Amino acid sequence: MAQAQATMDHKDAGDAAKAGLPAVARAANESKVVNIPVERVAEPAPAPLPAPVAEEAAEPPAAAPNKSRRKAKLFGIGLLLTLGGVVAWYPLADHYAPFASGASITAQVTQVAPRVAGPVKHVLIADNAEVKAGQPLFEIDDTTFRMDVAQAHGQLDQAMNSVTSGVAAVPAAEAKVSQTEVALTIAQQELDRATQLFDKGLLSQAKFTTADANHKTAALNVEAAKADLERIKASASTADASNPNVRAAQAAVDKAEFALANTTVVAPADGYISNLSLAEGQFVAAGTPALTFINPATQMVIADLRENQLVNVQAGDKAVVMFEAAPGRQFEATVDSIAWGINSGRTTANGLAQSSNDTRWFPPARKIPVRVSIDDMSQLPANVRLGSEASVLIIPEDGIVPAIARGLMGVSGLLSGLN
């Protein structure tokens, strides 16, 4: 500060000398100049400091655009990586972890129909009931069927009696044979005498002819009697069960009893009853469906996969099934079979080929049904019913892609449970 003041004094003195001022004036000027620093010394020293602060404050606006550009660049790189990952994921997943949504669980559905016709006497189950194999479902009025059984038994008794009477007729047939043989012997003797007399001219031609005719008739009677005896013996020697008449009568009895037994309709296996619309007194015809039976032991998940997803899929591959009715739960399964064909839509009634109307460059791939069986059906929750929607993930072989796909499937299932 003192150095600056001396410099200013020296400058003022030089200026005065140049102006040609007298010494007194210079002295007065010097004294005046000397008084100025006193006043400046009294001023606060930090006054010049605001200029550097202003320069520091101006630096952030210049650096902010660089940070924004850096963030935008990172965001763009991340977006490109994400899009690239998505684009690469789909073909990888189709080959190593085929996935199909919109699958459904199916089972064998049997239309239960009576084997006999008649009015319904009793309905023994309710709609949507669980039944066991052989459990009665409904009964048909059996009045006429019991009558048929009684009639068949009567016909069987008649056949048995005919067999018994045939055995008793054997002695009479044998006696008749003996009788005809005796008559033949007598006729033979008379013919012999008539021949001798006729040869000697002692008997007329008419009497000889009569004797000869009587002999022939006696011989025919013997043959007929023997034939009757053989027939009666054959009938009598046949056992009751092997007799044709008895067998026919027994078959009629069995048929009538079978029809009577079928007046009670039973469940074919363990399962569930659905779509029951029977009522007592309703007439049902033989072979006409009366109710629907679902066999849960045959439950199967059918998923439709695109053709390009079946490259590595074959029967026996592991699979994972997730149902909409059980969000987040994954059930182990196995690929049971792959359909050998689908309707191409080119067959018509007149046998001519039908052209396709799809002219797009990239037509949608056709889908092939794949049957998947649950490994442990007992794990399925009760609310999984026939027709329930499911998602299927097939795992041809273990790897990172199937692991990621399984994780994404679990997340998707949890999110679907929030709907």
CATH number, residue 333: 2.40.30.170
Neighbours of 156 (CB within 10 A): 20
Q: Which residues contact 208 (CB under 8 A, 6 or more apart)?
A: 194, 195, 197, 198
Residue whose structure tokens are 């010097």 = 30
Say yes or no: 107 and 118 in one domain. Answer: no
Q: What is the pLDDT of residue 137?
A: 95
Q: Is residue 60 part of a domain?
A: no
Tell me, yes or no, whether 317 and 371 share the same domain.
Answer: yes
130: β partners = 272
Contact 323, 388 (CB under 8 A): yes
Tell me the DSSP string of 285-314. Answer: -TT---EEEEEEEEEEEEEEEEGGG-SS--
Block residue for tokens 């309707």: 343
Residues 6+ apart with CB under 8 A from 263: 114, 116, 118, 121, 139, 140, 141, 142, 145
pLDDT of residue 7: 46
What is the domain extent for residue 271? 114-136+266-288
Structural domain contains residue 15: no
Q: Specify if 73 maps to a domain.
A: no
Name the nearest CA neighbour of 262 among 94, 118, 110, 92.
118
* pLDDT, tens digit, 9 for 90 and up, residues 327-353: 888 999 999 999 998 877 666 656 666
Indicate the pTM of the whole model. 0.59
User: CA 198, CA 191: separation in Å to the nearest integer?
Assistant: 10
Instruction: Let me know if residue 21 belongs to a domain.
Output: no
pLDDT recorded at residue 170: 73
Residue 390 and residue 319 share a domain: yes
* CATH at residue 257: 1.10.287.620
Question: Same structural domain for residues 130 and 153?
Answer: no
Both 120 and 175 in one domain: the answer is no
For the segment 49-86, what is each residue's pLDDT rounded down to a tens digit? 454 544 444 455 555 677 777 877 787 888 887 787 77
Q: In the prediction, which pLDDT does 206 show? A: 85
Q: Across-strand partners of 369?
A: 304
Q: What is the DSSP letter of 377?
A: G
Q: Are residues 307 and 251 in the same domain?
A: no
In a domain, 359, yes or no: no
Query: Crossing angle of helices 143-168/170-200, nearest 10°?
Result: 40
Is residue 275 located within the same domain as residue 304? no
Domain count within the chain: 3
Residues 132 and 278 both lie in one domain: yes
In whole angstroms, give the CA distance from residue 244 to residue 242. Answer: 6
| CA-based end-to-end distance of the chain | 81
**Is position 369 within any domain?**
yes
237: in domain: yes
Q: Which helix (H) or strand (E) holds 47?
A: none
Q: What is the DSSP letter of 207?
A: H
Instruction: Say yes or no: 318 and 406 in one domain.
Output: yes
Structural contact between residues 118 and 259, judged by C-beta atoms closer than 8 angstroms? no
**Same domain membership, residue 330 and residue 183:** no
Q: What's the pLDDT score for residue 225?
A: 87
List the chain residues with pLDDT less than 50. 1-42, 49, 51, 53-58
Reduce the DSSP state of residue 279 to 3 states and report it.
Answer: coil
User: Is residue 159, in this structure, part of any structural domain at all?
Assistant: yes
One domain for residues 279 and 326: no
Q: Are residues 151 and 257 in the same domain?
A: yes
Give the H or E element holding residue 268: none
